[in-house]
Chain A
């Protein structure tokens, strides 16, 4: 029953909003280049289905590559930090600088350095920069959060640093890392979209470019269709990572435990 309500309530809200939207557009005869009716957006989506899917594939590829790259780099950097306080103190400020500098401001530089002939690489780098920090921050905090007594126990039994890292620190860090990855997944998509915007015409083929192009042509219904697809992709990434989190933590971590028996 509770499960049904979780799905039924948001769907009911969506149906209500779309119905009102459709009715309002028809009643006040809003021109389609200002606000198209949901039915018109659905039409535009169907008409442009194959080209929109191509654009989605392009954006999704950049997003997933950036997410994978930032995950690997973020975890590797956090492990390096956990092994050397000096390294952490030296480099962490630069990671923060990378995080707080708006990516739109760095993107043109990266495009010039990497070159428009390798546009996809440039897009992946830009999106990776955006997704990197939450993974680094999550993993760094997690690796530091290990129970001191457990660490002492490994010392008592003469464990190597690698054993302590693998058996105690990494499992402790997992919930923190997964939380960082959930944020990073959404940020990788945002980063990919921003990168496409900056890359501009001729070179970019993703959803963000479809949005710019549709806007220029006043094809607002297509713009909405692309926008909806983008939002849907973001939700899908979040859902996939939430599922991964649940699968990995359901047996032991408070956050993933649903049965309070």
Chain B
């Protein structure tokens, strides 16, 4: 079942930059897909199109099963500094309305699931970078999305924190039957986390490789993960030479 379909999408910005041209890909339900490419290749723009935050100039973005509930995680934690962790995680529910006590419960559950039980009353400035990103993920989960879009969410974190958050994301994906579209510029991250990698070229951004990864990548250093990295790197290098 296809959840998200992007076909021949183009986007030119007001300053004349052709960010995307003829971008096509599809994401099936319960898939974990990485969108991989170098900086400035239009990955974020593609993700914003998928979320409906931007409109394409050409082509179409469609949701064949109807528009799903979408969760979005930015590269920065993007929290409200004036509000504690619980209030931040509750934002989607507050915007949608509904009983406060239920919203509190769901936000607290979401925080607990990302390992922040006991930090409900903490303000963003009191949290580390990794913890802030966890609040941001809890906020995306609070509205119980079907489709989770992440825009290089771990790029600004140290490697240890990045790996821990990656493992937690995988766990959440398996438990919830989420569909994940994960934007990244890291070959190793995409080789370990995702089931499928879409390789993008820059200016204008389009997909040049669609690589299904084999099972058995149980750790970051297992032979099949390393093998996957080689395949993805080759595709990426080929793409950059073409560009």
Q: Which positions in A face B, CB cutoff 8 Å? A: 147, 149-150, 152-159, 163, 167-168, 171, 174, 251-254, 257
Which B residues touch A254, using CB under 8 A?
Answer: 125
Instruction: Give B54's nearest chain A residue, CB to CB.
Output: A152
Known: A157-B96, A158-B95, A167-B91. A253 touches B81 (CB 8 A): yes
Known: A149-B78, A174-B82. A157 touches B143 (CB 8 A): yes
**Assembly CA distance A157 to B81 (angstroms):** 20
In B114-129, the 8 Å CB interface with A consists of 123-125
In B123-143, the 8 Å CB interface with A consists of 123-125, 143
Say whether chain A's binding surface is mostly helix, strand, loop, or mixed: helix
Partner of A156, one of B70, B81, B123, B124: B70
**Assembly CA distance A253 to B96 (angstroms):** 27
In B82-136, the 8 Å CB interface with A consists of 82-83, 91-92, 94-96, 123-125
Which A residues touch B82, using CB under 8 A?
Answer: 171, 174, 251-253
Shortest Cβ distance from B127 into chain A, in angstroms? 12
B242 within 8 Å of A by Cβ? no
B212 within 8 Å of A by Cβ? no
Partner of B80, one of A152, A155, A159, A171: A171
CB <8 Å contact, A149 and B80: no
Classify chain B: how many residues form its interface, as a range.
20 to 34
**Assembly CA distance A227 to B77 (angstroms):** 52
**Assembly CA distance A250 to B12 (angstroms):** 43
B52 within 8 Å of A by Cβ? yes
Instruction: Give A261's nearest chain B residue, CB to CB.
Output: B126
Instruction: Give B151's nearest chain A residue, CB to CB.
Output: A149
CB <8 Å contact, B91 and A153: yes
Can you give 22 A-B contacts (C-beta < 8 A)? A149-B74, A149-B78, A152-B53, A153-B91, A156-B51, A156-B52, A156-B72, A157-B91, A157-B92, A157-B143, A158-B95, A158-B96, A167-B91, A167-B94, A167-B95, A171-B80, A174-B82, A252-B82, A252-B83, A252-B123, A252-B124, A252-B125
Q: Mark B61-86, 1 if CB is under 8 A from A, else 0.
A: 00000000010101010101111000
Shortest Cβ distance from B72 into chain A, in angstroms? 6
**Assembly CA distance A52 to B108 (angstroms):** 58
Which A residues touch B78, using CB under 8 A?
Answer: 147, 149-150, 153
Which B residues touch A154, using CB under 8 A?
Answer: 95
Query: Max chain A CB contacts within 10 Å: which of B76, B81, B83, B94?
Result: B81
Partner of A150, one of B52, B80, B94, B125: B80
**Assembly CA distance A196 to B157 (angstroms):** 60
**Assembly CA distance A154 to B125 (angstroms):** 22
Shortest Cβ distance from B144 into chain A, in angstroms? 12
Which A residues touch B123, using CB under 8 A?
Answer: 251-252
**Assembly CA distance A155 to B94 (angstroms):** 13
CB <8 Å contact, A168 and B80: yes
Which B residues touch A153, using CB under 8 A?
Answer: 72, 78, 91-92
**Assembly CA distance A157 to B89 (angstroms):** 13
